[in-house]
């Protein structure tokens, strides 16, 4: 059985983007990015809402020339991302611009539960909106939160309101740039 994992880079006050939608403060440096690459390597499927897909698809649409100018850890992430299947939940997205990607019009918790039961590799849910639905449905098995050393004062929350979820801390790591990684398992 595959695990459903929610990963997010969040400000200390719990936001993935500020009130203006900016998240440039969340860009991982080489140390954090390399760590994230290792976490993502076993993932077989990414579940995205439209907004997160539109941010992440850059890893597919960047040209070989553009990637050639990037450090090896970024090229590595592009390879990891391109090798995984992607499901985008959107009622309005007409087409996708990445391989191994399909659109689902409605998020169905039971379909995700079945996917977890039959998948050979782990699944991640990306973006706080879609993650909130999965968390509320009791589908998320683990959370990886990367807490950035910044307070942004408001914006898009990394975790949903009105959900009570018990967590067990499995691991933690402190990075040189002040980011702290917290790895939790849900315990119901």
Q: What is the residue extent of each domain of the chain?
A: 4-176
Q: Nearest-CA neighbor of 14 among 158, 117, 120?
A: 158
Q: Examine the pLDDT at 65 and tell me if it is beyond 80.
A: no
> Which range has the worst mean pLDDT, 75-79, 82-86, 103-107?
75-79
Mean model confidence pLDDT for the chain = 95
Q: Mean pLDDT throughout 9-14?
A: 98
Question: In what order do the strands lie in the sheet containing 85-89?
Answer: 101-104, 85-89, 43-49, 122-126, 4-11, 142-148, 180-186, 167-174
pLDDT of residue 28: 96
Strand blocks (E) in the chain: 4-11, 15-18, 43-49, 85-89, 101-104, 122-126, 142-148, 155-157, 167-174, 180-186
Would you state the structure tokens that stand for residue 39, as one six-digit string?
A: 């976490």
Helix axes 30-40, 72-83, angle to 10 degrees: 20
157-175 residue pLDDT tens? 999 999 999 999 999 999 9
133-160 residue pLDDT tens? 999 999 999 999 999 999 999 999 999 9
Report the CATH architecture of 4-176. Answer: 3-Layer(aba) Sandwich (3.40)
Q: What percent of the chain has pLDDT over 90?
A: 91
pLDDT of residue 74: 92
pLDDT band at 68 (very low <50, low <70, confident <90, very high): confident
More confident residue, 70 or 31: 31
């Amino acid at each position: 059985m595959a695990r459903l994992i929610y990963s997010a880079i969040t400000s200390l006050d719990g936001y993935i983007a500020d009130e203006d939608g900016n998240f440039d403060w969340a860009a991982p440096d080489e140390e954090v990015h390399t760590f994230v690459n290792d976490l993502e390597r076993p993932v077989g499927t990414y579940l995205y809402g439209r907004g997160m897909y539109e941010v992440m698809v850059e890893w597919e649409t960047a040209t070989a020339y553009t990637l050639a100018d990037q450090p090896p850890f970024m090229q590595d992430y592009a390879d990891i991302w391109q090798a995984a299947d992607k499901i985008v939940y959107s009622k309005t997205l007409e087409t996708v611009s990445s391989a191994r990607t399909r659109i689902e019009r409605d998020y169905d918790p039971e379909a995700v539960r079945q996917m977890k039961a039959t998948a050979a590799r782990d699944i991640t849910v990306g973006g706080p909106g879609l993650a909130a639905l999965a968390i509320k449905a009791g589908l998320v098995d683990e959370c990886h939160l990367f807490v950035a050393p910044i307070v942004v004062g408001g914006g898009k929350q990394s975790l949903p309101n009105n959900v009570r979820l018990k967590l067990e801390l499995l691991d933690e790591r402190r990075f040189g740039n002040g980011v702290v990684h917290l790895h939790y398992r849900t315990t119901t």
